Structure 1
């Protein structure tokens, strides 16, 4: 395989890294984009999911932000990859990836076509004009990782399966993978809770390193008061945890036997009222089925007692996106209304008919909202020009 082909394959599949949490638990990380990108967006997944739960959304974002491939030759021609056709004037009407021209324009990724005048009418990511001003959004790096006990990350002691511990694991990922530069945190469901908890655990990072947040299908508290969480009670959860610890093989076998019963219920709970791509349903079901029963049960106590209402004020000073589906019966939309009301810099987005797995169901729409959040963050950064701290 040629170097160029290998690099493109790596860009498509991401760069894989293993980070050691503070207690030594291996955390599986995948990154997309260059290490010196102007901005990094870190995605924090939900309970019984994994980093791959972002794959449909990631593909949409890659279409917006692109992957830098190739440079510019001395003649100022694009030596990157050109995808798409050319219009009648011979200008590129497809996608130009990578490269800068000889006069220093478009040093990042150009996405979109060319108008009749031959100028790019698409989105410019990371390009600078001759005066050194940004001619579009800053180039963006994306980071995805699996929580402990999920996906390709290591299994840990059940006593560490808490929201606070996941906040510390997030910090370990940021210190190792994104040691410098501004960060946007995007969390879904339990990942949104981890993001809020992180603001309490590491308050000095908010507004200095963490310059924006996205809370998707999240809540600050009260998940047992409305939605499916009402059926959770401490006695039942404790009994499940004891059973899993004492008879793990029997309980895992029971989980497999009951899959035919619970999969349709999980589909209805997570996918909302509109017709969903069967592949998305299969991906979500596979991730839930692959999650160890010990992981699933051990996090329930932390989820039930979760209350970070007092932490929301720490996030009020930075741009935020609060997004959820109107048909979410796991964490109903009312939770998002409360979140947005407490975050001064937030945009509240309601996707009609979408369920709890809104980032799977409506990946394109969620991607557009995240792109808009990134644009708001960049505008705020340019307006205030804060000094960004280094991970400690």
Structure 2
């Protein structure tokens, strides 16, 4: 007998998206959680557990294509092309992810108000959906609330990782060259990564430096390492071009019809707080919160901060639905 907590959504190109359901199946509001690059549904575990306790929201968290239990799909290598593919190598696109999110909504949430939350690449996915389906975000539309955390509307190809530009440029080139090698032989990279520790002092220190704040709980870092380790190398390398060429600044105005909360971390090296400020400036009515001393993995480092805003957005969506009844 099929487990009712799990669903399979078929994307536009045949990709099969794994969706996990928590909370109350008959709740008036549905929360959809989109995770970031190299992560999975597990990165939203704390938020799913926190909101499910309330019993008044249906929660759907899904694996992005090529991540977790979701397949790549036939369009995997047709997303980034032309000069961009020549610079970074071919790979899937953020626009494809926007269409995937639309498929999740169309197939699993045919009616009722929706709150969308996107972390990092998941936030870019929400922006792509707003670009493709602006009707969903109009005042009174299906999407009542949006949470964008640790994300960007574009310009990531000039990422500095906190280094001065004279250091950042060769670091970026090294990252690109390494990912090209991984893309060329993903099986070899998988075998190498499978042997890497997730809880050694070095593994924890490296991930803390890149993705977390100095005072982040060690357990959260180890869990993050476990998630990262399960990400296929083809996905790790494949999505990098999409992130580098992502630009949805023109679509941000489409989000204005929903209640938008933006979360940033003061120590985020991948999507710095300056990117969040640009989001807040471009989305009318959006509210920005910056969590001090935290890194890129805010949903895992400070889960209660993220959960609190989601609870507020769900409550507002429910109130809007009741007032319209």
When normalised by structure 1's length, the TM-score is 0.70
Select 2:143's aligned residue among 182, 191, 210. 210
Aligned to 1:269: 210
Change (3 A) 1:174 1:366: same
Aligned-residue CA RMSD in angstroms?
2.6
**Post-superposition shift, 1:327?**
1.5
| Higher RCO (CA < 8 A, seq sep 6+) | 2
Select 2:96's aligned residue among 161, 165, 173. 165
Q: Which stretches of structure 1, 4 residues or longer, exceed 4 Å deviation after superposition? A: 229-242, 256-263, 379-383
Tell me the secondary structure at the aligned position of residue 24 of structure 1.
coil
Aligned to 1:195: 126
**Post-superposition shift, 1:266?**
2.3
Distance 1:329 1:244 in 2: 22
**Post-superposition shift, 1:176?**
1.1
**Post-superposition shift, 1:318?**
1.6
Change (3 A) 1:226 1:238: closer
**Post-superposition shift, 1:212?**
1.4
Structure 2: state its 5+ residue gaps. 80-91, 163-167
Select 1:340's aligned residue among 273, 276, 280. 280
Q: Deviations over 1:95-126 (max 9, x none)?
A: xxxxxxxxxxxxxxxxxxxxxxxxxxxxxxxx
Q: Are 2:248 and 1:248 aligned?
A: no
Aligned to 2:58: 141
Change (3 A) 1:246 1:365: closer
Distance 1:262 1:156 in 2: 32
Select 1:36's aligned residue among 15, 21, 26. 26
Distance 2:278 2:229 in 1: 32
Tell me the secondary structure at the aligned position of residue 152 of structure 1.
coil
More helix by share: 2
Aligned to 1:365: 305
Question: Quick check: which has more Rg, 1 or 2?
Answer: 1
Tell me the secondary structure at the aligned position of residue 228 of structure 1.
coil
Tell me the secondary structure at the aligned position of residue 115 of structure 2.
strand
Tell me the secondary structure at the aligned position of residue 67 of structure 2.
coil
**Post-superposition shift, 1:33?**
3.0
Counterpart contact for 2:51–2:57, Cα < 8 Å:
no
Change (3 A) 1:23 1:152: same
Q: Are 2:47 and 1:57 aligned?
A: yes
Q: Deviations over 1:168-197 (max 9, x none)?
A: 111111111111111111000000011011
How many correspondences in the alignment? 300
**Post-superposition shift, 1:252?**
2.7
Select 2:156's aligned residue among 200, 217, 223. 223
Distance 2:268 2:177 in 1: 27
- For 1:113-128, what aligned pairs fall within 5 Å after superposition? none
Q: Are 2:247 and 1:297 aligned?
A: no
Tell me the secondary structure at the aligned position of residue 51 of structure 2.
helix
Counterpart contact for 2:50–2:307, Cα < 8 Å:
yes
Counterpart contact for 1:224–1:231, Cα < 8 Å:
no
Distance 2:170 2:126 in 1: 23
Change (3 A) 1:257 1:37: closer
